[in-house]
Amino acid sequence: MSQVIVTKYKKKIHINFKKVASRFSIYLLFICITCIVFLPIMITVVASVKTAAQLGSTSPLAFPSLNEVTLENYKTIFSSGKLFTAVKNSVFLVVISVVFNAIIGSTTAYVLERFQFKLKALIYGMFLLGMLLPAYITEIARFQVMSKLKMYNTLGAPILIYIATDLMQLYIYRQFVQKIPIALDESAMIDGAGHFTIFWRIIFPNLLPATATLAIIKSVDILNDMYIPYLYMPSSELRTLTTMLMDFSSSLTGSWQMLSAAIVIVMIPTILLFIFFQRYIFAGIVAGSVKE
């Protein structure tokens, strides 16, 4: 159904109502999705800048005016001293895990992709099957291994788990290695380079996008991880951002405004990573999930 409108300049403009209506409803849907996504976040942010009295008397969606906004809740969280420990531990876990994952993942993918040898299919199949295993449940048995290795209550336990499991990076690296022409390897070999040199000087630098993707995805996963730090690092010196938040929850029961401040602080790192590195996160999720 379209209507013809004659303008001042005698031009005829066709308005296709069906198209306008469908555009409108699509935007309406998008706005609904945005509201649903932001509702719990906004409520938390709003609560984090209110005092207990304001919390009780005003609507949860009402942002207090500029002179009523209070940063007391944030000050309390920052001065508790727990935040520094948590950030330190979380960053340490992320950096060490990413470095090892990058080295191990890239070399493993390169070897599995470029070389033929006995047991190759077996090894590859083994890694594949490993990805099927339920994550939390295996902790029941993995816990014993960690205890026997005397790694319980150390930073080593989560690091070992983050490196040994979750081999999604194998797929990401494998796809990138496939894109590097074999001619590159061969010409380097003709020039007399050994395999180690070929890998470090030629292959790895070409895998930088994959490494970046891996770094971002792993960072998000580790920063958001709860159960592994919760199970393996009960010591208060070894709290991560997530387990620190759990501590706050039990000690701040009823004080929603302070807990909200802690929630916002813990949410910020991965949100920032997402805002700045969206491209890598999307690439990694898709590559790691839909295996060829």
Partner 1 sequence: MNINSRNRNVFIFLSLVVPIVLFLLFVVYPSLDLFRMSFVNWDGVSKDQKFIGLDNYKTMIFDSPDLWKSLCNTAIYFFIHLLFIPIELFVAVLLDSKIKGAKIFKSISFMPYIINGVAISYAFSYLYSPYGGALNEILESIHLEGAIQNWLSDPKVVNLSLASVSLWRYCGLHIILFLAGLQSIPEDIIEAATIDGANFMNKFRFITIPSMTLVIDFVLFANVRGAMQMFDIPFVITGGGPGYASSTFTLYSLKTAFNFNNFGMASTIGVAVFIIIIVVALIQNKIVKMARGKNA
Taking CB under 8 A as the criterion, which residues in 190-209 touch partner 1? 194-196, 199
C-beta of 133: minimal distance to partner 1 in Å? 6
Helix ranges (H only) for 149-255 are 156-164, 168-179, 182-190, 195-197, 204-206, 208-224, 227-232, 241-251
DSSP for 232-273, written as a single string: H--SGGG--HHHHHHHHHHHTTT-HHHHHHHHHHHHHHHHHH
Angstrom distance (rounded) from CA 250 to CA 254:
9
The reply to whether 84 sits near partner 1 by the rule CB under 8 A is no
Residues 6+ apart with CB under 8 A from 210: 106, 169, 172, 173, 175, 176
The reply to whether 233 sits near partner 1 by the rule CB under 8 A is no
Nearer to partner 1, 7 or 235 (CB): 235
Nearer to partner 1, 105 or 172 (CB): 105
Nearer to partner 1, 5 or 32 (CB): 32
C-beta of 281: minimal distance to partner 1 in Å? 7
The reply to whether 172 sits near partner 1 by the rule CB under 8 A is no
Nearer to partner 1, 5 or 33 (CB): 33
Work out which of 2, 19, 24, 56 binds partner 1, going by CB under 8 A: 56
The reply to whether 18 sits near partner 1 by the rule CB under 8 A is no
C-beta of 113: minimal distance to partner 1 in Å? 11
Q: Are 266 and 253 in contact (CB under 8 A)?
A: no
* Summary count for the chain: helices (H), strands (E): 15, 2
The reply to whether 211 sits near partner 1 by the rule CB under 8 A is no
Residues 6+ apart with CB under 8 A from 144: none
The reply to whether 276 sits near partner 1 by the rule CB under 8 A is no
Work out which of 160, 177, 215, 228 binds partner 1, going by CB under 8 A: 160
Angstrom distance (rounded) from CA 185 to CA 189:
6
The reply to whether 212 sits near partner 1 by the rule CB under 8 A is no
C-beta of 263: minimal distance to partner 1 in Å? 5
Give the total residue count for the chain. 292
The reply to whether 273 sits near partner 1 by the rule CB under 8 A is yes
C-beta of 8: minimal distance to partner 1 in Å? 28
The reply to whether 7 sits near partner 1 by the rule CB under 8 A is no
Name the nearest CA neighbour of 94 among 224, 284, 271: 224
**Site string (112-151) toward partner 1, x via CB under 8 A:** ---x-x-----x--xx--x--xxxxxxxxxxxxx------
Query: Long-range CB contacts (< 8 A, 24+ apart) of 243-248?
Result: 243/86, 244/82, 244/83, 244/85, 244/86, 247/82, 248/77, 248/82
Block residue for tokens 């099957």: 129
Work out which of 93, 94, 223, 233 binds partner 1, going by CB under 8 A: 223
C-beta of 174: minimal distance to partner 1 in Å? 13
Q: Are 223 and 90 in contact (CB under 8 A)?
A: yes
Nearer to partner 1, 233 or 241 (CB): 241
Number of residues that bind partner 1 (CB under 8 A): 84
Work out which of 69, 96, 180, 246 binds partner 1, going by CB under 8 A: 246
